[in-house]
Amino acid sequence: MFQLFEYSFIIRALEAGILVAIIAPLIGIFLVLRRYSLMADTLSHVSLAGIAIGLLLGIHPILTAIVASGVSAVAMERLRAAKRVYGDTALSLFLSGSLALALVLIGLANGFNVNLFSYLFGSIVTVRETDVMIIATIGLIVIGLLRFFYKELIFISFDEESATVSGLPVKLINTVFITLVAVAIALAIPIVGILLVSALMVIPVVAALQCKKGFTTTVFIAEVISVLSTLAGIIVSFYLDLPAGGTIVLLMLVVLLGIIFVQSHGK
């Protein structure tokens, strides 16, 4: 049972997985409450373009993904705030545009390769020590900023108009938040891959919301679901030789369905 801890790549996978599993629900709770869930999906596709740029230029793909998704996130928020296009229209524009750019860049880089596929579908066992350090450093910054703007984010999430009237710098806080979303998505890509990254941020929060508890308790439940599902997913994928990202997300879905079943039959 414990032989997996003899492998250094599994230790790195667990370290990276736990870090991302902690960060994702902290961001996800505000995404779900604001009905921004599809934004995570859009920014994951933007990250693909950033990763393609990194692979093409020989720069660390996580760093270029953070820059690409961060710039795009701010641009989307500006479009939404200016009301030049509807929110879902802006998401569609960035999703399709970034995917097209990624395909062109991949063509310039002589097509798909193993590295790119690991980012598409996740390959937690190939996480390097450098990746763990980057995730840990940037993750601490994300958590610190969330803690600093915690009360303001809650206020804006439940009533943005009242927050604006009360004098809060809503535009600034929204810009900071959407940038944190972009960063968190880029950090989660090595764990579950671009195609599943939004699930890591949304499913634990949706599952926790089914318990109908207070805000802090909901965040705590989401964290527990996220961390335990990630740990279990890595362990199960190791012994059954399954893709870690898909296993983690499926376990989260099982937990969500289990909570819904218990709640519906407990009434």
Concatenated DSSP letters for 127-185? Answer: --HHHHHHHHHHHHHHHHHHHHTHHHHHHHHH-HHHHHHTT--HHHHHHHHHHHHHHHH
For residue 141, give both structure tokens. Answer: 């910054």
- pTM of the model as a whole: 0.80
Q: Is-contact 206 154, C-beta < 8 A?
A: no
Confidence band (pLDDT; 50, 70, 90) for 87? Answer: low
Q: Is-contact 60 51, C-beta < 8 A?
A: no
* Each residue's pLDDT tens digit, 179-230: 888 888 877 777 777 767 778 888 999 999 988 888 889 999 999 999 999 8
Q: How far apart are alpha carbons 115 and 123 in whole angstroms?
A: 9
Question: Where is pLDDT greater, at 81 or 167?
Answer: 167
Say if residue 112's pLDDT is above 80.
Answer: no
* Each residue's pLDDT tens digit, 99-108: 788 778 777 7
For residue 188, give both structure tokens. Answer: 């989660």
Q: For the chain, give the mean pLDDT.
A: 80
Helix boundaries (H) for the chain? 8-33, 37-57, 61-82, 87-108, 114-121, 129-148, 150-158, 160-165, 170-192, 197-209, 215-240, 244-265
